[in-house]
Amino acid sequence: MESAIYQLFRKPVISQLLALAAVSVLLAGCAGTREVKRTVHFPASNEVARYALSLQGAPYRYGAESPREGFDCSGFVKYVYEKYGVRLPRTAYQMAAATPRVDSRNRRPGDLVFFNTTGQPFSHVGIYIGNDTFVHSSSVKGKVIVSSLERPYWLERFLGVRRPYLPDGASVAASAERHELNHHRVGKP
């Protein structure tokens, strides 16, 4: 009697298990495809980074803030952001004090990256351009260059990330978007 009852329940269980296995195989096929990671683009902040990159090779000159005269680190950052209507203080230290912190895991092109290169906090600044790299005016190399945040020199001196904002609360990205709209509308830089 016991084996007859067992046989009655066994067949539906086997059918249910087979159906469950079939569904699992189908779902596993969907899960087996590689996930496509979506990249969130910030075109305006990318534009800031692109413009900063266009100044590579400009000479380093302490206290200067133009492509003709050259740049020191903060003069370079100040010059780039002024193109987008963002007024930043003159020194790296003042820039760090005037801009809100961003978790370094959330950095994006156009953010400011700060370092202690002289024994003083916030003594050097550059513009993050993505892929753990930044563009800055280097006194050692004598010009505007791209460097990797992963190099031991920069890793040991890294202090943090800041994101400039306008007085009305709009981000640099919004300012850069307005700049781009006006640039395309008027046809002048």
Q: Which residues are known catalytic residues?
A: 73, 124, 136
Packed helices 43-54 and 73-82: angle between N→C axes, nearest 10 degrees = 130
d(CA 146, CA 40): 23
DSSP letters spanning 71-100 = E-HHHHHHHHHHTTT----SSHHHHHHHS-
Contacting residues for 81 by C-beta, under 8 A, at least 6 apart: 48, 87, 88, 164, 172
Residue keyed to tokens 């740049």: 71
112 three-class SS: strand
Sign of CA dihedral 46, 47, 53, 59: negative
Burial 118-154 (b: 16+ CB within 10 A, else e): eeeebbbbbbbbeeebbbbbbeeeebbbebebeeeeb
